Amino acid sequence: MITLGLVYFDILNLEHLVSFADGFFIANAIIGLVTAIALFENGFLRYGAILLTILFFTILLFSNIFILIVILLLFIYTLLQR
């Protein structure tokens, strides 16, 4: 409902919503790849996961700065909860 309200009042538009989704999908993929790096000890799968992590992180850097800040704040919040 909040998202619909923000779109109705022209605070957010479709481009912003897609940017948020792209940023969080890529961040989620990076989390999965880092888990794969931790699980695989060596070999093709580990090196492939490292390469994909670097590539996805590079793609993530081209996202909107606001989305990067939100992802960074969520990362810091998660680390502080430990």
Domain ranges of the chain: 13-80
Better pLDDT: 54 or 12: 54
| Integer Cα distance of 48 and 36 in angstroms | 10
Residue 55, pLDDT score = 97
Measured in degrees and rounded to the nearest 5, phi and psi for residue 73 equal -65, -40
- Tens-digit pLDDT profile for residues 41-53: 889 999 999 999 9
Rg (CA), the chain: 16
Predicted model pTM: 0.79
- Tens-digit pLDDT profile for residues 46-77: 999 999 999 999 999 998 888 899 889 998 99
| Integer Cα distance of 51 and 69 in angstroms | 24
Residue 22 in tokens? 């792209």
- 23, 61, 64 from 45: Cα distances, Å: 24, 24, 31
